[in-house]
Structure 1
Amino acid sequence: MPVSVVVGGQYGSEGKGKVALALAREKAAHCVVRVGGTNSGHTIIDERGEPRSFRQLPASVFAKDTIAVLPPGALIDVDIFEKEVAELGLGPDRVKVSPFASLISPEDREKERSTGLVDRIGSTGSGTGAALVRRIDRGSAVRLAKGEPRLHPYIDDTARMMRDVLTKNERIVIEGSQGSGLSVLHGGFYPHATSRDTTAAAFVSEAGLSPFDVDEIVLVLRAHPIRVAGTSGPLEDEMSWKDLAAEAGLSEDYQELTTATKK
């Protein structure tokens, strides 16, 4: 089946959004899927040459006539969702949300910040991990997308919709989040990890599709991998932005900021 999965091969910020958009355009994708939560962001360059960054929607929705899908494995911050949908001028015909996706609450964000997670392991403090813990705990406090009135226009059976797309042999691009080096299971740097698995298999599962649907996995790497600044974890042979700028012939004050944290 025609499913492409875009995976970060390092610690995030590899350029997955740009690659996913290129794939969606090249293969005339019908659906583009964003898994995970708002603890990471994807950036593309729009038609005017301007960078555009998104933390909730798939950046590959910039491909013509694609439908953005937030599947059951998505963790949704409704404020960020509404902001990005409005920024792009998208309607319910272009954005579909599974009724079983989880919601991130203000309490989730506060819990991550008050427990010292941000200082301890460089967490983004987005509330994604806390929301995931509540979902696994299966308590009465869990809120799903189907219970949020602001999401009602976008709610759809995303599994059925994507199965119909695949039956017609139309392409789906799954835009994986973060990087495989941050996987809570397989990254190898625990506890300096994100709150979920970030491998291709996990992304397919979160999307609600089968491994047998996948005919392409694209691993995105960068020459100089980066991690969120601070206590997010180790890097071998770490160098400074000043040294990198000198080596690359860039201005002395060159640096990159992560999309979600601006660190």
Structure 2
Amino acid sequence: MPVSVVVGGQYGSEGKGKTSLHIARTDPTVAAIIRVGGSNSGHIGVSKAGEHIALRQLPAGGIDGDHEILLPAGSYIDVELLLREIDLLGYDPARLMISPFAHIITADHKRWEAANGLGEAIGSTLSGTGAAVLSRVARGGGSLPDAVRAEDVPQLASFIGSTTTRARELLKSDRRLVIEGTQGFGLSSLHAEAWPKATSRDTTAAGFLAEAGLSPFDVDDVILVIRCHPIRVAGRQSGPLPHETTWDEIARRAGIDHDIREFTTVTKKERRVGDFDPEIVRQAIAVNRPSRIVLNHLDYVAAGDASEQPGAEALDYVQRVEGAIGQRIDLVGTSPASLIDRASLRVGA
């Protein structure tokens, strides 16, 4: 019963959406993409026409419109945002199913986060996702905004169905499901060393599987996605970043002559960036036990390596990362759209 789980190995923005889309395009057995979590992180995929599409509710793995999309019980949905993304992609509503038990992010949740200073305290995106998680757990207690289930929202009525039942039907037909996880291991509410500088959910493969309503026995593929230069969101309040550097310094060392600064999908603020830290990746490997590892942004290591055959400097970098984390890299990314099989790289080319 084949399920692939895509998980981040650092602090988010590792390229999980890109990886999910790669699996969807290259594995003909893929039937559905499952997106867990909320709208507090953006996933970017490059369409077949070359357009960079940023999504916060729908999975980037589904941008081609060729697969079903399931938003399971572990989803937190901003209704207006979701409907805008459906329109953006022109997605067939008949191919989207939402669990009745998914929870809704309301305007009250966003106001609660802003009023309680989460932006200043931990660098929160103030999307309302964390407050929606709290409301769900509080079960009507405390002074939190009301919790709302998807089944109680008239605008979503046509999408409501048992996502677990549908997933089980597809698995029984030996069709692959891809769970597109959000954020990164270093932000996990359970495992982040810098807690409370963390997110509101567990961001491991096991956590994503539980949110999707599936069994550990279903999984045959865990893909850990990392990047050469990990990032955190803007502001020192977002938490520590070992070996922090600057975008200008990365560009200088790599001989890159254009602006490579990155900005968050949600808040549009410049991301903090650091040099590769193997320790957080080793921790992520220990908890997630990945069957495959993707290393993205090899194009930030040496100018000219945004190609299908990176040069010797980039290949040497891959080998050093493999030695530092104790596991082989399986796919490397050299551009926003590319993922190359590690086995095809020629060492010393």
User: Which TM-score applies when normalising by structure 1?
Assistant: 0.97
Aligned to 2:338: none
Residue 259 of structure 2 corresponds to residue 258 of structure 1: no
Q: In 2, distance between residues paired with 1:50 and 1:90? A: 16
Q: What SS does the aligned partner of 1:72 have? A: coil
Aligned to 1:242: 248
Within the candidate set 180, 183, 186, 2:188 is matched to: 183
Contact 2:18 2:44 in 1 (8 A): yes
Aligned to 2:137: 136
Residue 214 of structure 2 corresponds to residue 225 of structure 1: no
Instruction: After TM superposition, give the deviation of residue 63 of structure 1 in Å.
Output: 4.3
User: Which TM-score applies when normalising by structure 2?
Assistant: 0.74
Q: How does 1:4-153 map to 2 (within 5 A)?
A: 4-28=4-28, 29-63=30-64, 65-139=66-140, 141-153=146-158
Q: Structure 1 unaligned runs (5+)?
A: none
Structure 1 residue ranges, 4+ long, deviating more than 6 angstroms after superposition: none
The CA RMSD over aligned residues, in Å, is: 1.1
- The answer to which of 156-165 and 61-70 deviates more is 61-70
Instruction: After TM superposition, give the deviation of residue 250 of structure 1 in Å.
Output: 2.3
Q: Structure 2 unaligned runs (5+)?
A: 270-349
The percent of aligned pairs where both chains have the same amino acid is 51
* Max Rg structure: 2
Q: In 2, distance between residues paired with 1:91 and 1:109? A: 29
Superimposed CA distance per residue, residues 152-177 of structure 1 (whole angstroms, 9 cap, x where no aligned partner): 11111111000000000000000000
Instruction: After TM superposition, give the deviation of residue 62 of structure 1 in Å.
Output: 2.4
Q: In 2, distance between residues paired with 1:253 and 1:89? A: 32
**Could you tell me which amino acid in structure 2 is paired with residue 236 of structure 1?**
P
Q: What SS does the aligned partner of 1:152 have? A: helix
Aligned to 2:215: 210
Q: What SS does the aligned partner of 2:232 have? A: coil
Residue 159 of structure 2 corresponds to residue 154 of structure 1: yes
Contact 2:34 2:212 in 1 (8 A): yes
Superimposed CA distance per residue, residues 157-213 of structure 1 (whole angstroms, 9 cap, x where no aligned partner): 111000000000000000000001100111211010000100000000000000100
**Could you tell me which amino acid in structure 2 is paired with residue 173 of structure 1?**
V
Instruction: After TM superposition, give the deviation of residue 49 of structure 1 in Å.
Output: 1.4
Q: In 2, distance between residues paired with 1:190 and 1:90? A: 38
Residue 3 of structure 2 corresponds to residue 3 of structure 1: yes
Contact 2:65 2:92 in 1 (8 A): no
Q: In 1, distance between residues paired with 2:258 and 2:196? A: 34
Q: What SS does the aligned partner of 1:229 have? A: coil
Residue 170 of structure 2 corresponds to residue 165 of structure 1: yes
Q: What SS does the aligned partner of 1:93 have? A: helix
Instruction: After TM superposition, give the deviation of residue 20 of structure 1 in Å.
Output: 0.5
Superimposed CA distance per residue, residues 239-258 of structure 1 (whole angstroms, 9 cap, x where no aligned partner): 01111111222236430011
